[in-house]
Structure 1
Amino acid sequence: MSVISMMVHPERNESLEVAAALADYLEKSGNKVRIDEVGASAVGRSELGCSTENFAADADLAVSIGGDGTMLRTFERVAQAGVPVLGVNVGHLGYLTEFEADEAQTAVDKALRGDLPVEERLMIQSRVQRFDGEIEGTWIGLNEAVVEKKSQGHTVRLEVTIDDSPFATYAGDGLIVSTPTGSTAYNLSARGSIVAPTHWSLQLTPVAPHMLFDRSLVLRPDTEIRISVVGEREANLSVDGRSVAALRDGDVMIATRSEVIARLVTSGSGGFQQVLKQKFGLKDR
């Protein structure tokens, strides 16, 4: 018997239908199924509801049914326990959800048998050092940590130090520190570098910079990036789209590679390149 934890997008009907059918199939096959509490209620299987604290416990596989946002919420719950995640896409074309709804049952069976490859993805860790030296956090993300302005219509000044060496002070809307997986998320919309998701590096990308230097930097995975707020205009720190801290003059966000590794179940068919081609309408010739 295997234990499967399922994360479901609660507001998409197709997601609920796929989850209900997959749960029935897995239970009939003798497996133990649990669903995040909100998703279980939406599916109509409240008895399978599982709290955030117990979602990863003893799980052999986590299945995310939704889009890339649902995948991020799934990794948030299971990455530290080393549970592999299989993504079923029922939203727009995504980079993380490699399997379609009609492939869900077959893909899960193969994953449980160990017949599908599992990629290891770098995750990012961020914490805040306040102006008085106090440390807050640690927050872990699969995509990125972002320091952005709080006030509309104004820029924020951010001083960057890389491995204890002062680099530059940026004026703009913010700075993104992304993983290779996150290079096709917010980083991409800010014209950052696209990096193969299994590569190990950190990317530093400015958001709407008001300065001549506007390039994205691809850095070693063991780099420490410190971003300090300079001046009276406040900033906000978000990790994978979750707002986690407000930053004021003298506060520092410290970003490094996390020791936690995300494990992603894939089809092994070069899905990343194929999604890029579809996203950008690229032709073979």
Structure 2
Amino acid sequence: MSRIGIAVHRFRPDALEVAREVAAWASTHQMVTIVDEADSAAINSPHVQPGRLADVDLLVSIGGDGTMLRAIRSLEGATVPVLGVNLGLLGYLAAVEQEQLLPSLEAWRTGVEGTQFFYDDRMLLEVAMWSNNARLANHLALNEVVIEKKDAGHTVRLAVDIDKVPFTTYAADGLILSTPTGSTAYSMSARGPILSPRLRAMLLTPVSPHMLFDRSMVLDAPEVVRIEVIGHRHVNVATDGDLVHTLKPGDVVEVRAANEVARFVRFEEQRFHQILKTKFGLSDR
């Protein structure tokens, strides 16, 4: 029996109604619908049950790009296909609009990969944190990891090594390390370049640097970036917008391309530059 997972923007009534429709559709096809406990209470449907989303066959994300990021985080690195349903504003990650959802689910249920649907794998970042030579935590990120000042009004000093070779020390509000998928998120607002999500690369972008060198760098995916907090100020570490740790001087963050990937379900070719064109209202000529 197939298992469908749902991740939903639980504070939007329209998203919750779509989630109930998905659960009812799954029930008619003898599929089990799994959600996390918080979403289960919000959806309030007899067709859903709480469980581990990393064990499902397909995860349906209902909301926007923020819900997609939460959906990927909930998989804990498992390569579960994710179908994004966009509600409202144009998103970069979602594959279908609300009116296309049930036909798309039917195409996934009855179709053949490579014909009726296909998979779009995206690079993830692996983020490890260390304090006094002891590992604090490991996280995965689809968009970016941000190492940023904890207190307003001050820059922080972050010493960067690339592949065990010292590069420089940044005096800045922080540093962003992003994937190509994340190049249109926080990094872009910090004047970073836009990368095609088909690439495997890592983007290092300073946030408000107080130094002459203020450019982003595009690094090869196998390169490992080590960042040590120096000086006397603490920093916050966030992955995909979620605060995961506060580090003190002497603590270290290591970022590399993960072995795991995020897998999206697509039903037609989505040209990245056309999404950008629509997003920014660009003309043909």
After TM superposition, the score normalised by the length of structure 1 is 0.94
Residue 32 (1) aligns with residue 32 (2)? yes
Residue 95 (1) aligns with residue 92 (2)? yes
Residue 124 (1) aligns with residue 106 (2)? no
RMSD value, Cα: 1.5
Tell me how far apart the structure 1 counterparts of residues 273 and 35 of structure 2 sit (CA, whole Å): 31
Tell me how far apart the structure 2 counterparts of residues 235 and 158 of structure 1 sit (CA, whole Å): 10
Structure 1 gaps, min length 5: none
Q: Give how far 1:92 is off.
A: 2.1
**Where does residue 55 of structure 1 map in the other structure?**
53
**Helix, strand or coil at the partner of 1:81:** coil
**Where does residue 82 of structure 1 map in the other structure?**
79
Q: Give how far 1:271 is off.
A: 4.4
Q: Which moved more, 1:21-30 or 1:135-144?
A: 21-30
Contact preservation (8 Å) 1:38, 1:49: no
The one-letter code of the counterpart of 1:149 is K
Contact preservation (8 Å) 1:8, 1:36: no
Moved over 4 A (4+): none
Amino-acid identity (%): 44
Matches within 5 A, 1:237-256: 237-256=237-256
The one-letter code of the counterpart of 2:204 is L
Q: Give how far 1:233 is off.
A: 1.1
Q: Aligned in 2, Cα 1:11/1:46: closer, same or farther, shift over 3 Å?
A: farther
Tell me how far apart the structure 1 counterparts of residues 47 and 23 of structure 2 sit (CA, whole Å): 12
**Where does residue 216 of structure 2 map in the other structure?**
216
Q: Aligned in 2, Cα 1:267/1:213: closer, same or farther, shift over 3 Å?
A: farther
Structure 2 gaps, min length 5: none
Tell me how far apart the structure 2 counterparts of residues 49 and 29 of structure 1 sit (CA, whole Å): 16
**Helix, strand or coil at the partner of 1:80:** coil
The one-letter code of the counterpart of 1:239 is T
Matches within 5 A, 1:134-153: 134-153=134-153
Contact preservation (8 Å) 1:79, 1:262: no
Contact preservation (8 Å) 2:145, 2:176: yes
Tell me how far apart the structure 1 counterparts of residues 30 and 44 of structure 2 sit (CA, whole Å): 20
Q: Give how far 1:14 is off.
A: 1.4
Contact preservation (8 Å) 1:37, 1:46: no
Q: Give how far 1:201 is off.
A: 0.5
Q: Give how far 1:46 is off.
A: 5.8
Tell me how far apart the structure 2 counterparts of residues 260 and 91 of structure 1 sit (CA, whole Å): 30
Tell me how far apart the structure 2 counterparts of residues 251 and 56 of structure 1 sit (CA, whole Å): 31
